[in-house]
Amino acid sequence: MSTSKGRTANYEVMFLLSQAQAAQLGEAVDHINDLFKRAHATVHALKKWDERRLAYEIDKNKRGTYLLGYFTADPVNLAGFERDCNLSEKILRTLVTRCDHLTLDEMTATDARADLATEVELRRGSEAQAQA
């Protein structure tokens, strides 16, 4: 793996998940965290942004769930991260942009991973009740 001699940059990423993947939110979040790990990225924030109707169907999906994340990574690893996201069957679309306009404090202030974990547990509890 090549590096750019310790140089890193801040990025913002938006993931679009299908409703099927959003129903299994825990698995989807674990998969996204694995993608970050493979890219040697430091995640500063990850939150569920919105669930909404899509402007056009994507792979027969009319609705989607958006996850917004902020991370720091070596620019050399970014192409591999984007490729892994595009090849993932769990993610419909991904958009990664440079995030130089935000400070590290501003990025971490948006972190809602605890809320995301709570929602995952609530969904698992609902599934357990439905199966019982």
The confidence band for 2, taking pLDDT boundaries of 50, 70 and 90, is low
73 occurs within a structural domain = yes
Cα angle at 97 between 14 and 4, to 5 degrees? 125
91 occurs within a structural domain = yes
* pTM of the complete model: 0.86
Count of domains observed in the chain: 1
Nearest residue to 11 (alpha-carbon basis) of 70, 88, 94: 70
Q: Is pLDDT above 70 for 17?
A: yes
Give, as one character, the DSSP assignment of residue 112: -
80 occurs within a structural domain = yes
- Is 58 in contact with 19 (CB distance < 8 Å)? no
CATH number at residue 47: 3.30.70.60
76 occurs within a structural domain = yes
Range of the structural domain that residue 110 is part of: 9-131
40 occurs within a structural domain = yes
- Rounded CA-CA distance 1/52 in Å is 38
4 occurs within a structural domain = no
Q: What is the pLDDT of residues 77-113, one digit of tens each?
A: 999 999 999 999 999 999 999 998 988 899 999 898 8
3 occurs within a structural domain = no
**H or E stretch including 93?**
strand 93-98
Copy the structure tokens of residue 33.
Answer: 């965290």
Q: What is the pLDDT of residues 25-67, one digit of tens each?
A: 999 999 999 999 999 999 999 999 999 999 999 999 999 999 9
1 occurs within a structural domain = no
